[in-house]
């Protein structure tokens, strides 16, 4: 990992999005419809995300019930659960859930190189920095500078990057988002 600085960002691309049979059965049961009828509702990511959000807001979904679900559903339900009492919109919560789903496994298995100077992938790098600060703060010890200096560099980079991309709901509420993500840490680390 390196600490540098960057600028431009595209909307993250979410790969590895798929549902297992268990996922479909779980969602269909929560929707109280047969899996065969529900299956077509799960084909588009936007539709699926809205279904997950509505289930998480309108029904009791216990964390223990999520253990057999795919990482995608698990992350969505966890984030929607832990952010339920916060006034963020569905779009904001969903964006952060996608960011966690996309970044967490890559960082957990150290498959990425973080650079705060990479202008081409600034939004993606800011997302990785947010995940590191929230879930993997021990990785900050791998840098030559002190942990506090690197954390401050990452936090400043996160704020600047998301402000630049008009994602002010993150930059203006960064502390709140970090606290929400830290609440998920134990549960998510058991899943990945």
Instruction: Please report the pLDDT score of residue 4 as a whole number.
Output: 39
- Residue 32 main-chain phi, psi, to 5 deg: 60, 45
Percentages helix, strand, coil for the chain (3-state, rounded to 5) are: 65, 0, 35
Please calculate the CA angle 163-89-5 and round it to the nearest 5 degrees: 20
Close Cβ partners of 74 (under 8 Å, ≥ 6 residues apart): 66, 67, 188, 191
127-184: pLDDT as tens digits: 999 999 999 988 888 877 788 899 999 999 999 999 999 999 999 999 999 999 999 9
Q: Which two tokens stand for residue 66?
A: 């999520």
Domain borders along the chain are 21-191
Q: How confident is the model at residue 65 (pLDDT cuts 50, 70, 90)?
A: confident
């Amino acid at each position: 990992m390196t600490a540098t600085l960057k600028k431009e960002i595209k909307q993250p691309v979410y790969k590895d999005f798929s549902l297992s049979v268990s996922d479909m059965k779980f969602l269909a049961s929560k929707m109280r419809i047969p899996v065969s009828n529900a299956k077509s509702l799960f084909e588009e990511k936007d539709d699926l995300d809205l279904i997950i959000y509505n289930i998480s807001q309108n029904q009791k979904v216990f964390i223990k019930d999520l253990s057999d679900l795919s990482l995608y559903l698990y992350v969505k339900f966890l984030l929607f659960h832990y952010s339920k009492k916060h006034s963020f919109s569905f779009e904001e919560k969903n964006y952060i859930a996608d960011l966690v789903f996309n970044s967490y496994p890559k960082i957990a298995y150290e498959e990425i190189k973080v650079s705060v100077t990479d202008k081409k992938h600034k939004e993606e790098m800011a997302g990785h920095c947010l995940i590191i600060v929230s879930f993997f703060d021990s990785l900050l010890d791998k840098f030559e500078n002190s942990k506090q200096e690197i954390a401050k560099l990452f936090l400043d980079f996160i704020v600047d990057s998301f402000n630049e991309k008009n994602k002010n709901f993150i930059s203006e509420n960064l502390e709140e988002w970090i606290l929400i993500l830290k609440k998920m840490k134990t549960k998510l680390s058991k899943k990945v």
